[in-house]
Amino acid sequence: MSQWTPRLRPMQTSDLSAVLAIEETVFGDDAWSRSVFERDLVNEHATYLALELIGQDAGQPLAELAGYAGFWRLDDEANLMNIAVAPAWQRHGLGEYLLRATLAEMQARGVTSCTLEVRVSNERAQALYRKLGFQVTGRRRRYYQDNGEDALLMARMLD
Ligand SMILES: CC(C)(COP(=O)(O)OP(=O)(O)OC[C@H]1O[C@@H](n2cnc3c(N)ncnc32)[C@H](O)[C@@H]1OP(=O)(O)O)[C@@H](O)C(=O)NCCC(=O)NCCS
């Protein structure tokens, strides 16, 4: 594999096959369906970013969708709705890159605070959020319908 350069761009409907493949791999039974993404892609309050890796294979340019993130914005508050990196690309700094870029995108739209929900068992995502300045601000009991798991509510200010 040659050098890959990450590039962020708005998610498009044509990305959904690749997005859903990642979504189903990382979230299993809790994966969002195509219709959830399709609905959000036309929602004026929602912003979804696709993380592409640009490289070359045998001299030919290649672009591989390696992750995505999305948020809803209401006035100056945002809620991170989703973030995922394809398993083959995890632990290479891409989740952090994607989250930093997503927070910058929120800021560019006038957001001053961001909240998110995360499963109490999802320690790697919590570690990523803590690394980027999020703190636990509450707990939502039995938030996840598939197994009744609690969510931690995390938040940070954007400055
Ligand atoms: C959470 C996720 C996006 C992180 O993506 P990633 O590209 O692997 O993360 P990075 O390589 O950028 O790591 C950034 C930080 O995240 C944390 N982290 C990531 N993977 C971790 C792991 N397996 N164990 C512990 N911490 C981890 C660490 O704090 C890490 O910083 P460090 O490298 O200085 O230790 C990825 O694991 C993923 O897609 N998970 C499945 C989907 C998911 O759970 N999304 C969140 C829903 S709330």
Per-residue pLDDT of 13-63, as tens digits, reads 999 999 999 999 999 999 999 999 999 999 999 999 999 999 887 788 789
> pTM for the whole thing?
0.96
pLDDT of residue 62: 87
pLDDT of residue 87: 97
Centre of ligand 1 to C-alpha 27, Å, is 14
How does pLDDT run across 52-105, given as a tens digit for each residue? 999 887 788 789 999 999 999 999 999 999 999 999 999 999 999 999 999 999
Place of tokens 């632990």: 91
Centre of ligand 1 to C-alpha 123, Å, is 9
Mean pLDDT over 113-125 rounds to 98
Which atom of ligand 1 is closest in space to residue 97's alpha carbon?
12
Compute φ and ψ for 136, nearest 5 degrees: -70, 130
Distance in angstroms (rounded) separating the CA atoms of residues 120 and 124 = 10
Protein residue closest via CA to atom 30 of ligand 1: 128
Catalytic residues: 117, 129
Which domains can be identified in the chain, with CATH numbers?
A: 5-157 (3.40.630.30)
pLDDT of residue 138: 98
Distance in angstroms (rounded) separating the CA atoms of residues 123 and 110 = 30
Ligand 1 pocket by C-beta < 6 Å: which residues?
Answer: 26, 83-85, 90-96, 118, 122, 124-125, 127-128, 131
pLDDT of residue 84: 98
Which atom of ligand 1 is closest in space to residue 93's alpha carbon?
12
- Residue 78's nearest CA partner among 50, 48, 103, 58 is 103
Centre of ligand 1 to C-alpha 71, Å, is 18
Q: Is the pLDDT of residue 1 over 70?
A: no
Protein residue closest via CA to atom 15 of ligand 1: 128
Q: Is the pLDDT of residue 2 over 80?
A: no
Q: Is the pLDDT of residue 127 over 60?
A: yes
pLDDT of residue 88: 95
